[in-house]
Structure 1
């Protein structure tokens, strides 16, 4: 068995397959699945009040979603070879729709969390199907534009999530409608795909390496859980001295080392880590991790700042984030086409420089900062994201031979989700720690002004760390070069 065969081999009549209906099917399902990663961000304040939990606890609704997706994607690389394209996609969207229904009806916080995990199972199964199908359907010379279509989903959907949720909450005053309104679209995606989606891969049914699945689960689960616990749950909080923090991070680190070691030793690895021998793929991976951490943490921090610090309504906060979301969705296909014409450096270097400037500006905002300034900063951040994300990812994949396409796309998809989860967990923990320190030194920690100031102080700390991450991305961007031919290794 060849690990790449299922993802790269195509039916004999592939030349007669219409690309557009397949692409539409994938984008519809992917959009609403990924949209749910940030759809609850504006509703976090309401959920904290309704369920009586802390911000560190409620952020698990987002963290668990991306963590589940990140854990499942490596497994789905095998499942793609066990089931047809139609079976994978329809099964994924059925799971997603079921999870959406559970969330809408959830009577307790833990039921809502279970529903989110079921949703994430569907998303984790669907993302590799989308990536591999497009790699099969489009030749390398058109791949930048095709990957731009993926960028429209991966970048635009989470960016627009807070805006849509703000509009829905303003109209309904009930967070459950965030799920009631998504459910029909999930059902529509199932019906549309059942009619138009065609199989573009062969079923080879390879042997499943259970140990690799266990190790990848321990690795990604342990690392993200440890960082998520760093800020603590409840009033006491946690720090690096807490065993559940350092213990799970260490366990995850050991699991990751063993997972990578096993993949390198296996004749038919679940994820072939030799893809990292391609320098551009390695650089692209690090850049994408930083960008995803910055994206998801910002989409979590800004709604908290606007609602708790600036006392804006969910509707107003959603409108503030709307222009940036539109910029993100509009530019992703354009930057994909520009990549085909000019290469990655013309986009990635200035995009990284813009990201550094914007992250610095976020460290300077205050409770008196105007909504117009936040809109401007968020739009420019969206510009930077679109200039980095898809060009870097496409350039990295272009240096791989077809043998490594499914492995490279699975690695990038996995790390994108894990990076998003880490970004939320890590930056929320920094915010919580800064908020706590501010209140401990306050003479009147219960006053509304001091509570708002504590949120601002915590968010400043989080954005400052984000700025340092973006500087690393800028340094790496100077090493990115246009790939002229796949690298054999």
Structure 2
């Protein structure tokens, strides 16, 4: 929870700083460069984690971060400065903070617990329903407030709303694949954690290196062609694994994963750029915060739903051979393919001008 508080502050604040420092016509390139770090770091995590789990204690997953965090604090203390005007008159709405924490927290807890407890579990149902009710109260308070904690007026801007919908779907697909594919490789194909991580590593490298390219293309051609290209590649990559079998080669899965990662590179950061470019500067911080909140919700909820589908599929097949695991993964990827097709269709309605 402490770690989550830090991430909840840093990530949306970073996006806001970019909006304040750079004009719209340059934000694509800057976001692309920033995306190199944002995409590369979590993408190589399975490989590094696999190595640590194979040869070291799991505690090193956390210990290894201490020197990096210490260095970042020192550098930030020396070089970071405020880029916007501050005001001592601003008051924090404690009631809204409590409502958002309780509402979003219970929704996330409910969905993340569904995979282990089941969707008919009383705790799961109570958490989700209770969280949604508190979240509705939170949204109502924001609409009525003169100085809302989160200004929901950002959804009055069509481009922001559309990119938010696409962002939800892309986040679901990205996080679900990051979890589902390694599980299938380890349980169904006998891969070690390190071997599964190494299979994902080339895609991670390509994903990160293509992010700056996507940023420059965004500034030159706009969002629509990148959205279509990115979602198209994602849809193809999902289609490529709806008929997995024990005979499916490692090379095939590797190429498919690289294709997925190229698609994600062409849409992940351009989505954020298009969303923030659509807003006036005074709403940028609210848009960034809402984007981050929705991504976290989509990642947790989407992963829970996809893994529940995978678990149900496993109950219906024989697990005595790799065929059962392949069938379960294929059926799950079919649902993800349907989501990718819907998103691909939505992106065709993106206006050519997004700012």
TM-score by length of 1: 0.69
Q: Point out 4+ residue stretches in structure 1 off by more than 6 angstroms.
A: none
SS at match of 1:270: coil
2:282 aligned with 1:403, yes or no?
Answer: yes
Q: Does 1:153 align with 2:41?
A: no
1:246 positional shift? 2.6
Query: Shift in Å at residue 374 of structure 1?
Result: 1.1
- The reply on whether 1:203 has 2:86 as its aligned counterpart is yes
- Select which of 70, 94, 98 maps to 1:214: 98
- CA contact 2:185–2:196 (8 Å) conserved in 1: yes
CA contact (8 A) 2:8 2:292 kept: no
Please tell me whether residue 473 in structure 1 is matched to residue 343 in structure 2: yes
Residues 295-314 of structure 1: pairs in structure 2 closer than 5 A: 295-314=174-193
- Which residue of the other structure, out of 370, 373, 392, is the alignment partner of 2:252? 373
Deviation at 1:156, TM superposition (A): 2.1
Q: Which consecutive residues of structure 2, in runs of 5 or more, have no partner in the other structure?
A: none
Matched, 1:183 2:102: no
Q: Secondary structure at the match of 2:263?
A: helix
Matched with 1:19 is none
CA deviation string 1:13-61 (max 9, x = no partner) = xxxxxxxxxxxxxxxxxxxxxxxxxxxxxxxxxxxxxxxxxxxxxxxxx
CA distance in 2, matches of 1:473, 1:381: 14
Q: Distance in 1 between matches of 2:198 and 2:354?
A: 43
1:223 aligned onto 2:107 = yes
Residue by residue over 1:349-386, the C-alpha shift from the partner in whole angstroms, topping out at 9 and shown as x without a partner, is 12212211211212212233211111111111011111
What is the CA deviation profile of residues 99-138 of structure 1, one whole-angstrom value per residue up to 9, with x for unaligned ones?
A: xxxxxxxxxxxxxxxxxx3322222221122112222221
Cα distance in 2 for partners of 1:244, 1:252 equals 12
The aligned counterpart of 2:128 is: 249
User: Within the alignment, does 1:139 sit opposite 2:18 as a pair?
Assistant: no
- Structure 2 residue 48 is matched with structure 1 residue 164: yes
Report what 1:461 is aligned to. 331
| 2:161 alignment partner in structure 1 | 282
Structure 1 392/125 Cα, relative in aligned 2: closer, same or farther at 3 Å? closer
- What's the offset of the Cα at 1:194? 2.2
Aligned counterparts of 1:121 and 1:434: Cα–Cα separation in 2: 35
1:430, distance to aligned residue in structure 2 (A): 1.6
Asked whether 1:321 is paired with 2:200, we answer yes
Shift of 1:414: 1.2
CA distance in 2 between counterparts of 1:336 and 1:327 reads: 15
| Count of residues in Structure 1 that have an aligned counterpart in Structure 2 | 354
1:258 to 131, 137, 140: 137
> Equivalents in 1 of 2:38, 2:301: separation in Å?
17
Q: Is the 8 A contact 1:398 1:483 kept in 2?
A: no
Correspondent of 2:268 among 368, 389, 399: 389
Counterpart contact for 1:363–1:460, Cα < 8 Å: yes
Deviation at 1:475, TM superposition (A): 1.6
1:255 is paired with a residue whose SS is: helix
Q: Which residue of structure 1 aligns with residue 75 of structure 2?
A: 192
Structure 1 residue 453 displacement after superposition: 4.3
2: CA distance, partners of 1:409 / 1:212? 18
SS state of the match for residue 422, structure 1?
Answer: helix
* Partners of 1:474 and 1:226 in 2: CA distance: 29
How far residue 253 of structure 1 moved from its aligned partner, in angstroms, is: 2.2
| Counterpart for residue 424 of structure 1 | 303
Uncovered stretches (5+) of structure 1, i.e. residues with no partner: 1-116
Deviation at 1:423, TM superposition (A): 2.3
